[in-house]
Amino acid sequence: MKIAVSATGKGISASIDPRFGRAGYFVIVDADSVQVVDVIDNSIAQNAAHGAGINAATMIVEAGVDSVITGKVGPKAYAVLEAAGIKVIPDCSGTVLDAVEQFKSGTARSADGPTENAHPGRPAGQAGGAGGGMCRRRDMGQGGGGRCGGGFGRRK
Amino acid sequence: MAAAGAAEDLAGENDIFVSDQGLHVMNVAIASGKGGTGKTTVAVSLALAAEMPVWFLDCDVEEPNAHIFLNPSLDTSSRCTLSIPSVVEEKCSYCGKCREICRFNAITVFGQHIMTFPELCHACGGCFLVCPDEALAESEREVGVVERGSSGTVVLVQGRLRVGEAMAPPLIKAVKAEVPAGARLVILDAPPGTSCPVIITVEDADYTLLVTEPTPFGLHDLKLAVGVLRRLDRPFGVIINRSDLGDADVENWCRAQGIRVHMSIPFDRRIAEGYSTGEPLIVTRPDLRPAFEKVLEEVLQS
């Protein structure tokens, strides 16, 4: 049985990346041998203006895993994983190894829905270009995102 | 588009709004980096100061407000929609070509599954072109409505984005498409910021007036807006609102950059009071009319 773990690095001792769609990597671990069998570089999804979760979830599905261990997962990514029959175990932290051990011990609980609400894009400051990715904002420092990367939106 | 046809009909009935002398159309955009600097206030006063008929386009489709000051009878309304894919699953071979071409992850294919995420679709039409199975049918997503009405010598066109819709540019394009050939003066009231909706509004303007205020925040965001117009290589100038508050940094910066400051509007409580009752600045302060006329003259001669 193969498990995908969202991670900040490529190895079994890498930390879990709390974000599913914008995780750095997915470390694919064989649950029986606890060996890393594959690593998915998620940089394409990570840098997508939006739809990162959909992109990441599709790659996970194609990797043929049975379960996903992650931190937070949004509704679009969850919809893809659910359609593919992949079990999602959210709210995990620590290392990839910890999570897999926990999974094997049966204490990890799988999700019956997304852990997050939809959010429309990459948050400010991660868009690469100046000004962040927010399309429109009313006040400084507000969260959220925009459909259009680059530039900044409304603020008063 | 049906709406554009209607605009031509209206123009035919109201010849004063168009020129038959082949005069060059002048598109003047009013923009700003920072919100709340007075774009609509300036745009409305310019429209009312013009000696010729004006097409006033409220391109701030997330919250159009020029109608409050121009008070037209908005008697025409048309829906603005985008063509987005819906899957005819029995024809789909799950080849994944649509997924590959979609830059917005609005459609994905895996195994024997295909899923669409309509709210992410930018309606580029790429998936329709690459699908070898004719498995995608066109369906539509309403982005908002385009409304039009006239008030005196001003025709107001405004977009109202559907609540929940995030994509303003297609609606702004539809608002701009309402202007008939032969219109002489078009004033575009832009949304704030420097993102896509602003670019769409100012990208083909003959001149853009950037309204700012003499504060550190006003200057900071003015610099961003100036960066956009320089990148677009479009002519622009500045209007400083509430010019007697704050500091002289905006003025000094404009001078150092060789940017023309067309007008400085003083702070006046009466202007704010008039605004709060829907009264245009130029009505509250008729003494400023010559200054607005001068700005128009400068812009039209630029």
For the segment B106-159, what is each residue's pLDDT rounded down to a tens digit?
A: 999 999 999 999 999 999 999 999 999 999 999 999 999 999 999 999 999 999
Contacts of A61 in chain B (CB under 8 A): 110-111
Note whether A154 contacts B108, CB cutoff 8 Å: no
As annotated, the residues of chain A forming the CATH 3.30.420.130 domain(s) are 2-105
Rounded CA-CA distance A78/A74 in Å is 6
Strand-pair category, A67-69 with A2-7: parallel
As annotated, the residues of chain B forming the CATH 3.40.50.300 domain(s) are 2-81+144-301
Note whether A62 contacts B110, CB cutoff 8 Å: yes
- How do the pLDDT tens digits run along chain A, 156 residues long? 999 999 999 999 999 999 999 999 999 999 999 999 999 999 988 888 889 999 999 999 999 999 999 999 999 999 999 999 999 999 998 999 999 998 988 877 788 888 888 766 654 333 333 333 333 433 333 333 333 433 455 554
Model pLDDT for residues B60-106, shown as the tens digit of each residue: 999 999 999 999 999 999 999 999 999 999 999 999 999 999 999 99
Torsion of CA B142, B148, B154, B158, to 10 degrees: -20
What would the two tokens of residue B145 be?
Answer: 């409505």
**CB hemisphere CA count around B185 (13 angstroms):** 20
Q: For B145-277, where are the alpha helices, taking DSSP H only?
A: 169-176, 196-202, 216-232, 249-257, 269-276
Note whether A136 contacts B195, CB cutoff 8 Å: yes
A118 by Cβ neighbours in 10 Å (0-12 / 13-18 / 19+) ranks as exposed
Residue with tokens 């605009």: B7
What would the two tokens of residue B153 be?
Answer: 């010598």
Q: Nearest C-alpha of chain B: how many angstroms from A118? A: 11
Rounded CA-CA distance B171/B143 in Å is 7
Rounded CA-CA distance B280/B47 in Å is 10
Contacts of B198 in chain A (CB under 8 A): 151
What was the ipTM of the complex prediction?
A: 0.74
Rounded CA-CA distance B125/B253 in Å is 45
Phi first, then psi: give them for residue B236, nearest 5 degrees: -155, 160
Strand-pair category, B54-58 with B26-31: unpaired
Query: What is the arithmetic mean of pLDDT over B54-63?
Result: 97
In chain A, the residue whose alpha carbon lies closest to the alpha carbon of B112 is A84
Note whether A120 contacts B105, CB cutoff 8 Å: no
pTM beyond 0.80, yes or no = no
- Nearest CB among B99, B117, B193 relative to A152 is that of B193
Note whether B195 contacts A153, CB cutoff 8 Å: yes
Residue with tokens 């010598």: B153
A5, A41, B114, B161 from B89: Cα distances, Å: 32, 31, 8, 31
In chain B, the residue whose alpha carbon lies closest to the alpha carbon of A138 is B35
What would the two tokens of residue A64 be?
Answer: 């043929």
**Class of CATH domain B89-134:** alpha beta
Contacts of A136 in chain B (CB under 8 A): 62, 191-193, 195, 197
Domain B2-81+144-301 CATH (choose: 3.40.630.30, 3.20.20.140, 3.40.50.720, 3.40.50.300): 3.40.50.300
Rounded CA-CA distance B121/A53 in Å is 15
As annotated, the residues of chain B forming the CATH 3.30.70.20 domain(s) are 89-134
Rounded CA-CA distance A60/A25 in Å is 11
What would the two tokens of residue B66 be?
Answer: 């020029």
Q: Which fold has domain A2-105?
A: Nucleotidyltransferase; domain 5 (3.30.420)
- Nearest CB among B113, B195, B228 relative to A135 is that of B195
